[in-house]
């Protein structure tokens, strides 16, 4: 098969970085990857590893290039890998780099080395163990540590570090973190990954399901952030007021006095003031509040309820996100399973042609199988029906939680009326004292 990628759009820079002992001819892309193809004998051999990184839009093109070069050199090339990277930028606000890495180690003479080697099993005395068939028990070990699962976390952390160095050097305040909100201890709902297809549709003004989900998540995060800020201000204010000598005054008496001092004149103002006062008096009566210390106790309880409710909502959102991913991979498995079943029935002579014609579908099926196998290996049962039922239940509970949040916002709004009145009287008192001093 012949592949030609020379007409791919949006490529603004390509480069090959090699370890010192690599053949100089590998600086030619075709030579490098044809050599990789030729050394492998199995049709299912792993040829390369691809890493994709998002580039900060705050950096210039030269700064982005310097960032990728330093990251690739220190983390991959210095370890012995050949790296072929390309920077893509179509001007849509999503600059990124694709980094292709070789899998096999290079010998000092520039030839490809083995991916793994046979290692004999040894007993307690360091002697080889017979396998009962005239040979010795053995196992295979990788010749490098490049395929270890822990590398994904290590390389993600390294990219965050290198990116933050670049942003700092450029005098930018932005920083990135490779950890999830949960691992960072941030009670914030993460958005879903849009993918190129949905992103392009959204940019053209076409509404997508994932776009709607992200807009809903953004609105939910805004609500959580807004309530947190407002209730924190009320908590600090009521705590301060409850400690003041006048804090023991009856709130009802205080409100009547404030009403007499500044009675509204216009009809609109009177109606507005009446509605605010009715809501406030009802709130105070329903909660048995007559003084500032009692109000502080109520606001402190509201503050605790907010954090408890927010934690439950975010926990449900994260679980829904995980279950949604499972259901998507299950749907992908079901969709492309018939293609895989057809492949099993194809005669050996036509198998390669069928694989080439359906390569994309088969790759998606294999990806779904790997995902589901990983789930099973971790002890999870494959239960799509139960997943859907759990998503429905959690969604209903989450929506109920947001209704409670909105009810809480109304109580916050009511207490804010009292806060504004107290602050107004305090300002007027300060103005009156200044005028008396001047006289």
Whether residue 144 lies inside any domain: the answer is: no
Closest CA to 180 of 369, 355, 341, 314: 314
Q: Taking the model in full, what pTM does it have?
A: 0.53
pLDDT recorded at residue 270? 44
Tens-digit pLDDT profile for residues 387-410: 999 999 999 998 898 888 888 888
pLDDT recorded at residue 283? 78
Q: 187 with 253, same domain?
A: no
Whether residue 92 lies inside any domain: the answer is: yes
Whether residue 54 lies inside any domain: the answer is: yes
How many domains does one find in the chain? 3
Whether residue 132 lies inside any domain: the answer is: no
Whether residue 2 lies inside any domain: the answer is: no
Q: 227 with 290, same domain?
A: yes
| Residues 7, 5: Cα–Cα separation, whole Å | 6
pLDDT recorded at residue 264? 46
Closest CA to 422 of 257, 268, 233: 257
pLDDT recorded at residue 250? 67
Whether residue 373 lies inside any domain: the answer is: yes
Q: 90 with 163, same domain?
A: yes
| Residues 348, 352: Cα–Cα separation, whole Å | 8
Q: 85 with 17, same domain?
A: yes
Q: 42 with 76, same domain?
A: yes
| Residues 384, 327: Cα–Cα separation, whole Å | 6
pLDDT recorded at residue 263? 47
Closest CA to 21 of 105, 103, 85, 144: 105
Q: 188 with 303, same domain?
A: no
Q: 312 with 289, same domain?
A: yes
What is the extent of the structural domain holding 204?
181-210
Tens-digit pLDDT profile for residues 182-195: 666 655 666 666 66
| Residues 32, 23: Cα–Cα separation, whole Å | 9
Q: 38 with 98, same domain?
A: yes
Whether residue 233 lies inside any domain: the answer is: yes
pLDDT recorded at residue 405? 85
Q: 16 with 93, same domain?
A: yes
pLDDT recorded at residue 381? 92
| Residues 239, 235: Cα–Cα separation, whole Å | 6
Q: 323 with 187, same domain?
A: no
Report the greatest alpha carbon distance in the chain: 113
pLDDT recorded at residue 294? 84
Looking at residue 61, which CATH number applies to its domain? 3.30.930.30
Query: Running along the chain, 439 residues long, what does each successive block of 10 average in pLDDT?
Result: 72 93 93 92 85 92 94 94 93 87 92 85 83 81 84 91 92 83 61 65 73 75 83 86 67 59 47 59 80 85 87 86 89 92 86 85 89 90 94 92 86 82 67 65
Q: 25 with 94, same domain?
A: yes
Q: 195 with 257, same domain?
A: no
The Cα angle at residue 118 between residues 115 and 122, in degrees rounded to 5: 140
Whether residue 175 lies inside any domain: the answer is: no
């Amino acid at each position: 098969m012949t592949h030609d990628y020379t007409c791919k759009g949006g490529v603004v820079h390509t480069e090959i970085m090699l370890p010192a002992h690599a053949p100089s001819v590998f600086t030619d892309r075709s030579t490098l990857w044809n050599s990789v193809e030729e050394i492998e004998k199995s049709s299912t051999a792993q040829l390369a590893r691809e890493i994709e990184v998002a580039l900060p839009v705050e950096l210039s093109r030269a700064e982005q290039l310097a960032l990728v070069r330093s990251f690739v050199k220190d983390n991959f090339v210095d370890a012995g890998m050949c790296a072929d990277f390309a920077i893509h930028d179509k001007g849509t606000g999503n600059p990124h780099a694709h980094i292709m890495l070789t899998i096999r180690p290079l010998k000092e003479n520039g030839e490809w080395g083995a991916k793994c080697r046979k290692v004999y099993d040894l007993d307690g005395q360091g002697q080889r163990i017979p396998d009962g068939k005239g040979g010795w028990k053995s196992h295979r070990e990788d010749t490098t540590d490049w395929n270890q699962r822990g590398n994904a976390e290590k390389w993600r952390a390294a990219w965050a570090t290198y990116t933050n160095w670049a942003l700092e050097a450029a005098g930018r305040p932005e920083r990135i973190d490779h950890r999830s909100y949960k691992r960072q201890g941030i009670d914030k709902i993460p958005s879903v990954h849009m993918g190129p297809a949905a992103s392009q549709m959204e940019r053209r003004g076409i509404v997508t399901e994932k776009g709607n989900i992200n807009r809903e998540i953004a609105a939910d995060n805004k609500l959580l952030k807004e309530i947190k800020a407002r209730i924190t201000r009320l908590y600090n204010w009521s705590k301060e007021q409850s400690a003041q000598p006048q804090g023991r005054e009856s709130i009802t008496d205080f409100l009547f006095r404030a009403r007499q001092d500044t009675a509204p004149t216009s009809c609109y103002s009177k109606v507005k003031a009446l509605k605010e006062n009715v809501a406030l008096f009802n709130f105070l009566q329903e909660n048995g509040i007559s003084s500032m210390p009692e109000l502080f106790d109520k606001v402190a309880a509201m503050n605790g309820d907010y954090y408890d409710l927010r934690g439950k909502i975010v926990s449900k959102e994260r679980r829904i996100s995980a279950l949604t991913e499972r259901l998507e991979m299950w749907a992908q498995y079901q969709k492309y399973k018939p293609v895989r079943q057809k492949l099993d029935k194809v005669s050996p002579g036509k198998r390669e042609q069928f694989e080439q014609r359906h390569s994309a579908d088969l790759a998606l099926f294999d990806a779904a199988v790997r995902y589901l196998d990983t789930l099973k290996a971790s002890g999870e049962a494959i239960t799509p029906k139960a997943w859907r039922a759990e998503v429905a239940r959690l969604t209903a509970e989450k929506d109920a939680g947001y209704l409670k949040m909105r009810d809480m916002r109304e109580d916050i709004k009511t207490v804010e009326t009292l806060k504004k009145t107290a602050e107004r009287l305090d300002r007027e008192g300060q103005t009156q004292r200044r005028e008396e001093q001047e006289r």
